[in-house]
A and B are shown apart, each in its own frame.
Chain A
Amino acid sequence: AQSVTQPDIHITVSEGASLELRCNYSYGATPYLFWYVQSPGQGLQLLLKYFSGDTLVQGIKGFEAEFKRSQSSFNLRKPSVHWSDAAEYFCAISGGSYIPTFGRGTSLIVHP
């Protein structure tokens, strides 16, 4: 069975600091990998995705993520966080006919 682990429930950073949100997965093959962001009172918005090719993928809002097969990880990064990045971030995996499995989410708090 596939699973996703986001080990950090909350992350607090200062505005302008760099950010890394962790995501580890369990899957029998190379899955499709996603990061979504949920702003307060909003639905989930797709930030970026990986399904093949270059293991460093660029997304919207200045985010990037790196797929590391050896570590079964797909960590999300941003070099300089803005106050508007405060939100809930979800990592998800899917593949073939499987519905996506979402992680429990990481809440990002940005201090001025």
Chain B
Amino acid sequence: DTAVSQTPKYLVTQMGNDKSIKCEQNLGHDTMYWYKQDSKKFLKIMFSYNNKELIINETVPNRFSPKSPDKAHLNLHINSLELGDSAVYFCASSLRGTGDAYGYTFGSGTRLTVV
């Protein structure tokens, strides 16, 4: 039973389209995150929600909009996709808050390719 699951695993789409990535965790964790990993493997935090409340909103284009319908779900919607949005997007969760001493649990990633 997957702890943090993301769908889809692969997403190929044309510039200008709108797409969503879904994430669900069954660990009972309080906090969920979206990370972007670029082609050089650099991980950048995008957003974080704690119990459905947005607590981290890094410098991300407002074409990216997260939504957390409940504590176990965090979705990412991207409008007007651009070539530079191509990356791997990871969902993660942690038991408590952002500085959790127990670390994060990551999903397996969504590879987004914009053509």
Contact = CB atoms under 8 A, between A and B. Distances in A.
A49 B108 contact: no
Given A45-B106, A99-B56, A32 B101 contact: yes
Interface stretch (B41-49, B59-67, B77-85): B41-49
Nearest to B105: A46
Interface residues of A, number: 25
Interface stretch (A18-26, A63-71, A87-95): A87-95
Contacts of A42: 108-109
Q: Which bracket fits the contact residues of B?
A: 20 to 34
Interface in A78-108: 88, 90, 94-100, 102, 104-105, 107
Interface of A: 32, 34, 36, 38, 41-46, 49, 51, 88, 90, 94-100, 102, 104-105, 107
Interface of B: 4, 33, 40-43, 45, 48, 56, 90, 92, 97-109
Given A95-B99, A98-B98, 13 more contacts: A32-B100, A32-B103, A42-B109, A43-B109, A44-B92, A49-B102, A88-B41, A97-B97, A99-B45, A99-B99, A100-B99, A102-B42, A104-B42
